[in-house]
Chains A and B, each alone.
Chain A
Amino acid sequence: MMPISKTSIDNTVFATSVYGQQWAGPDGDRLTIALQLLQSETASTIQIDSLVESLEYTPSTRISSIIESTTDWRVDPDGQYRLIASNSSAIVALTEDENIVQWPDLSHGKSIDEEHKSAINEAWKNEVSGVSQGAYISQSQHVLAMPSRLGLHAQEDASGIIWPPRQLNSEGERISPATNKLDSSASILTWTRLSAAGAPSEFSLRAPLLGGISTVLVEFASGPKGVFMLADDEEGQASIDQEVSFEVRRLYGQDNLIHYGLKALLI
């Protein structure tokens, strides 16, 4: 797992990816850094105008909903804290101040292959500007399932914990809304690594650059199973029974929108 890098100066916490301020990583951006930062701090209320303005691409769902589905923080125009993002680097700050007077130098992260970085960024640009290649999910379904998809919120009925969410049970009764939160880690039951040729069309531009994409099928301790793309697996390979944690990352882009989702990270 590759955690964010954090630095505290006075009343402000700064965060970058492990690549430092130069890059948020192959499937990261200021929003994914911000989400990790918020998850690592005690929750309160937050203003997000600066973060919204700093994002390179428009998310497919409201940023406030993504934050509230993924963390315990509540977005509020008059919130106690502000998420402020640098427009020129991959740094996000959590602060009670109105402005950041000086951004720190957080360049000392994981080394970056500039050619690889450039190719990945170009692939995202082309992917986002493309028209739908598939994986079409109605916007209403996308929004309705967000707490489960991003926050691992599960349902519960007589048969046990249910995730992903379902509508009716075998008695024809409506299953109550997803309010339970699944564990923050899970165990790999099986996994695969898809070659670029075997990957869905949504990933056809980035898969060759990443040497393929890995997917794990995991089981949570409470019972439900799910599939997730693996992130940050350049230096490790999945194995059965290995534990993973989860983070929100970019999944894919199309129709000028970026879609975010949970990805698994090897522990």
Chain B
Amino acid sequence: MSFTHLHVATAFSAHYGVSWPDELAQAAAADSATALACTDRDGLYGTVKHIKACMDAGIDPIVGVDLAVFDDDGDHRTRISGRVVVLAHGNNNGAGYRALCRLISDAHARTSGKAGGTIPVAVTRSELASRTLDPQTLKPVLTVLIGPDSDVGQSMGGRKYLRPRTLFNEWINAMPPGTIVAETVTHLSAPGEPLSTAHAVRMLKLALEYNVPAILSNAVRYCAQDGAATADVLDSARTLKSLPELSTAPMLQPTGQGWLKNAHQMLQLGKEIMGAAGLGKADLHKLLSNTEALADKCRINPVLDMGWKTPVVPEASIIGIEKDPMVELSERCNAGISRRFPGISGSAEERLRSRLDHELGIIGNLGFGSYFLTVAEVSRMILEMGVRVAARGSGASSLVNYLIDISQVDPIRHDLIFERFLSGRRSTLPDIDIDVESAERHNVYRKIFDRFGAERVTLMSMQNGYRARGAVRDAGMALGMDEGEISGIAKQLWRFSARKFREALVEKPELREFAGRVERGALEENQQLDLLVDLTERLDRLPRHISMHPCGVILGDATLLDRTPVQPSGLGLPMSQFDKHDMDPMGMLKLDVLGVRMQSAMAFAVREVIRLHPGKDEVVKAGRHPIGPGGSGPDYIAPDGRIDLNAVPFDDQATYELIRSTHTLGCFQIESPGQRELIGKMAPREFNDLIIDISLFRPGPMKSDMVRPFLEHRHGFAPEVYPHPDLKPVLEETHGVTVFHEQILKTFDVMTKCGLDRADEFRRALGDEVHEPGVEKFFRKEAIKNYPPEVVDKVWGTLKAFGSFGFCKAHGAAFAVPTYQSAWLKTHHPEAFLAGLWEHDPGMYPKRLLVAEARRLGIPILPLDINRSHAEYRVEKILEGPDAGKLGIRLSLTGIYGLSGAELKRIVAGQPYDSLADLRARARVSKPNIKRLAQLGAFDALHRDSGGKANRADLVQHLQALQTTPARKAAEVIEGQLSFALGDVELRNLPPELPAPTRVENVRAELDLMAMDVSEHLMESHRPLLDKLGVTTADKLLGLRNGTEVLVAGVRVATQTPPMRGGRRVVFISIDDGTGCVDSVFFHEAQEESGPLLFGTRMLLIRGTTRRTGPRGISLSASKAWDLSKPETLPYAELLPSGGGLPDEYTRHGPLHGISRNLAITGLGS
């Protein structure tokens, strides 16, 4: 006999289910089950994975949900009266699945989509009743299981005989006939407890009495017994109560029997229930046959019921197309040729046309014409909004995309291959990714909803799983451990999978101290740390919640909401319960509309340039742009001074010079320590170099040592080698090294004549254990026909080694565009560009590093000023003082700790102010915030103008005193009444009492309230100590010879642990000392030496030796690090071998001392 489990939660029931769909399906199939249900809590989060798992295991999927039901008698908005399982009937052309989707969307419709919302996910009984019948046929398409978690099941405790019957009767009366069954479950708990056999018996008898079918289930939460403990920990994480608390409540599962029991065990449970009920074989048979009959009714046909792998795109009519979409697409492409390739003719045009026909032929055969038109429509719409937009990814390989303005990269010029993007051999919708300005992303989303209609659009979601830090926190909470202790441990966990916690304890130096405690704990019978490690490993990767995917938008036709349940996202727009892995199986068209901060920063910079220099001549002069033969400046600058960034040619030498200088902080893709090292070595000269640079700086190429040979060949240190002359055209641009996917495709095609479409399939198979051997066989068989064996061997070796790592050139080309554009802006309009960076904070570094970069470039940083600062950073022309004539950047009022958005708006709307009283009256800024503004010097100018003699410290003290006195009613100013221009009496009369605040105090206030050091670099105050220790500054490093031992010091700006060849972890720490960045690398020994300092400290003193990386690049190989914020821990004897006395100020604390609020100050990572 076989048994079908109809009530099974997978791991996608967040904080509830334990096992993954494929484990469950495999286990069911191994027990010769023919079907398995997935009934996740609150949604279809695991459904698509379940379907796939069942198809792989050769069993039929059953689809359902475990939903809470509102109490009919209670407050509808918040009171729940238990949970039921709802199963969709199958093989009815999706009628059941549709109803299920809509029902789940109903359950979420009232929730806020934000964490901590008060309205639970639940349906009313009338919603449930109406969804169980198909609106067309009025036949039942859903079955509701009234089980142990329902109001009926929950009322079975004690001796209340009437209550369960009343409640059951209510269900029978409320639901259409034939839509409910009674679900009997025993987890073999002690007699009389929930999930005991006695309760199962009572449920069974209710069903018999009312003539409702009863079925048997095991309310499964885990695949095998072992999962029970994990389920306990998940219960703790869900309820935010420790296990001891849950145990007393009692709120834990009564036993650990909720696993996927096999058919024999389920039969035994059935017998036990019948025995306890005094019923016999016939009744047992009935119970089991009811279960199987329901299972049969609910077997889902993935293709017919759910549209499995059938792509659905918006109706052509919705984008205003009446004719055949392919005809429309061809016409638009033809129109694009004259726009993108003006004046093309002869053989060039012939090649272009044949490429276009080739692409259109493939698109037509796949029936994807309206897909391209849809994406083009979205692109057009975004451009019309005046938002910067750029296609990213392999979509740049398509000429069609270039011709209809989806992409900005010319695939002919960069030799990109269409088959890398789409071929006749792929039937899934290709990905086209669109980058837009991050600040405009939500507006773009709303516009897409408006344009296509809310019934055709929803946001994609993503699953957020446990990683090491979250897992250790929740495991610690379950054990009831001290929060502070857990936080301390969590902080030391750095980028490894929670599943490898125990392994990491042995290996990682920063965990050494903790590992010691675990070991001692085991001896001293302090058991918790050992358990903590085990429970952390158990939680690894389990889903915690879903959230809005950062870029995915799903577009469909009018039936979209019949195919996916939706729930509110934090943004307010509906979000699908499906994630990116579910898109292809469900035939859903996903558009990646990614908000890119760099695009916002660049758009901001362009606007600042035109604001400061209203007119082409001024812009040309300010940016030192070429005047050109006509004398009027380049065409990409409009008469009003607007720069068309996309039209800037890719050949500006000043830009490449800046890139080669490695001072690329703030530039897209090339600002990281590793990239600065690489560009220093590579010295890019042209756009294609940038494409190669970006493609090389990937885990694959770095890991497989492609970079060194490439650089050797490029600089001519070693002769270029080609395995065969036929491959020279393929590999020439990268000096014989295989870097791009495109080169792999061509290599296959050249040597085997397989065609580029098959070549792309071969490329995908590389590195795949199952499929690679077949590819090798084919390659050897075909290539040997034309090439000698040693060439075949060598080329296969390259393909095998690099094939799975290489990078798609189209990606590289698409990325290189904003890279070039950002470097161009930094070269020609650095003030506007940096203001854009501060405003939109696009990079990997804390914002304060970009402030330091402005300081390094000699750009004046203008202080906060209540009358001159705006809600955004602004470039200002400096009119007086030593910097007169220069452009400076004025700090913004946004991002000051405590200042609310409403206050900010009122301040800006009311500017200028002639006194503090004026500010209080019109901008209604709270007392603490006025004090904060004073601390930051926002009133210094006002104070000076008032003629007062006091200083900033006096003002802060005065405002502090006011904070404690009760508010007086402000003097009413009658509309239209003229106030005397008395200046600020309050400021003028302030008595000078205190010494002015020190630089350190000012910088500390800036760091505390703005996370930036503005008045001076925060390292300045440590300078006496550093000088005494003989510390070398970043700007001096380049002048040292390779292998010099030095001490450097600075504030951490980046920490990275990239994957490395050989698998041993290497830690890169970059610090900033005010003169630039020092990039240091900690190999194994140095990590051992530095232990917990590796990830836990903000200011470091590092000893190491210089490593020259290129003509303009130098880094440090660290041997040891110290925590500079604890000067008392520095080993002066070791550091000052001359034995000289200690500087007096050596224990003085710097500006960072005592600031714990803002992690964004330093590059500690998340």
Are A and B associated in one complex?
A: no
